[in-house]
Structure 1
């Protein structure tokens, strides 16, 4: 399934790079020593919002503008990184953005969204309940609802994979965290457009296994809960369009425990002195699981974001595993 063309991707890169410089991809020696393979980290924690999502919001909003459909306002549901992307993009076009987050959401991500000009609404026990309130606000205010998965969002996020594959075209495999699916679908699509053979391995939290269950079943399999401290992985209702791309293009989906995610966060800090949020460390956690399988190969991991609350990170560095 092809969501866009190579020309579309190149145009998205030109747009994104007006705001987001290409992020680095480094092969870290201490990670190589731990894994027994060359480990190339794509540092999406180095974007202006500290996460990869910023790319998607810029392209999505520009697509509305080009179609002459720029709305009077936008609304979306988010755990934080998508919301920052939407708030930043909306501010560039001078329109308001309402960001609906669940109860108990990250205080630091909430503050970041508001600092970018977003109006924060707290509603629902989890992300999926927040989506219900966002849809209500769409109707009440006549705003445009921005979903968590859309071809234009994926096209923006795919500029990350384009940068990585252009700089590192000889990767044997790439590990990508999965929330609602834009990151892994972007990686699959960019790989295919570039004609590469890199294996794409998706990563979910063991406590939020809906995408893994759906991959195994070949159809969406919702779960009742998605309780992981890696909030960017907390999906319990996979979207069919994203799942179709994942089933067709991913080699496999791995599940990582909360303790494995925390271990990977610590390793990122000790080996690279970079902060990773839970979802940002999930790809490395999965690679640690498969280090025997990947020994001697050249492997990429997406560090999708570094927006972790200070108390959570302090507990991780102290050797603890935070609870959702």
Structure 2
């Protein structure tokens, strides 16, 4: 595969999909993001591609200080917050990765951060959030309960509420991943993206539908946390009473209407995958690409495993969006 060196998207003028996002803001966002989160490794992976019968491109969003893609969005949030005349503190709900990202970016810019998490959140992620200097409050329940508490704090204190995916900065920061992929390769047939709240899917999807509309945008959820996929299929909000998946990073129950609107404009296919496929995908990524990923980051490979004919012979890019996983859990999932 030949990378296209020096292809620029800075001066692009053209049609965009009908979303809340703006291509020019995504281009500007890359200049607000610290270099530790930008220009992450992206490469063809023949060892995995040969097994999956496709030409596989890996975009490695774990190679940064917080081990996930959310630093891109948090950098944009904090850059704008630090230069505004509004609140000088931030609050968010997080299962772990967004909290780490905001804590890192807030500390770098002197902006206090409070992170609300459910008691079921990954303990290692919560510990890292505290080590990065953020205040942490745990509430009974899951991420949706944490979101409710974060909204209360924002309403009663002088703190800016960062709603992952609803806040455009988180989506447009994530969109810079798409810029790097489009600039780095002359053609991508399919881009496979983990789908949780929607920041990664809508941000990267917006870029591809603007610059490479022929690319098939596939956004994947686990069957144990299907609310956004079900909403996309229905064309309206569908909620669920519970989630049951090892992919905690994408386990939401209440999709945000504005984010669903954006997803409807950019996603071509939204499959649901089995837990067994997620674990198999994690093992394949580790054994054949020598990369440790959390379950959410394996959704793209899981989708290929479950529907191989859709991807056979194509150039497929997968975004490995996080590596924050408990060692004991990872070792257990590697058995098989």
TM-score (norm 2): 0.91
Deviations 1:93-113 (A, max 9, x none): 212111111112111111111
Question: What is the RMSD of the two structures over their aligned residues, measured on CA atoms?
Answer: 1.4
State how 1:302-313 maps to structure 2 within 5 Å: 302-313=319-330
Q: Does 1:180 align with 2:197?
A: yes
Q: Would the aligned equivalents of 1:5 and 1:193 in 2 still touch at CA under 8 Å?
A: no
| Cα displacement string for residues 42-82 of structure 1 (whole angstroms, at most 9, x for unaligned residues) | 1011122100011001101212234432x232111000111
Match of 1:213 in 2: 230
Structure 1 length-normalised TM: 0.94
Could you tell me which residue of structure 1 aligns to residue 188 of structure 2? 171
Alignment of 1:192-203 (within 5 A): 192-203=209-220
1:289 aligns with 306
Matches of 2:304 and 2:185 in 1, distance apart? 18
Q: Give the length in aligned residue pairs.
A: 318
Counterpart of 2:120 (choices 88, 104, 110) is 104
Which residue in the other structure is 2:10 paired with? none
Matched position secondary structure for 2:59:
strand
* CA deviation map 1:168-225 (0-9, x unaligned): 2401001100110000001111113324421100100101111111011100101111
Secondary structure, in 3 states, of the residue corresponding to 1:21?
Answer: coil
Alignment check: 8 A CA contact 1:175 1:287 kept: no
1:133 pairs with one of 138, 149, 165 = 149
Q: Are residues 66 and 197 of structure 1, via their aligned partners in 2, closer, same or farther at CA, if it must alter by over 3 Å?
A: farther
Three-state SS of the structure 2 residue aligned to 1:292 is helix
Q: Equivalences for 1:10-89 in 2 at 5 Å?
A: 10-69=27-86, 71-89=87-105
Q: CA deviation at 1:17?
A: 4.2
In structure 2, the gaps of 5 or more residues are 1-17
SS in 2 for 1:46: coil
Q: 2:20–2:168: 8 Å Cα contact kept in structure 1?
A: yes
Residues in 2 aligned to 1:93 and 1:249: alpha-carbon distance in whole angstroms: 33
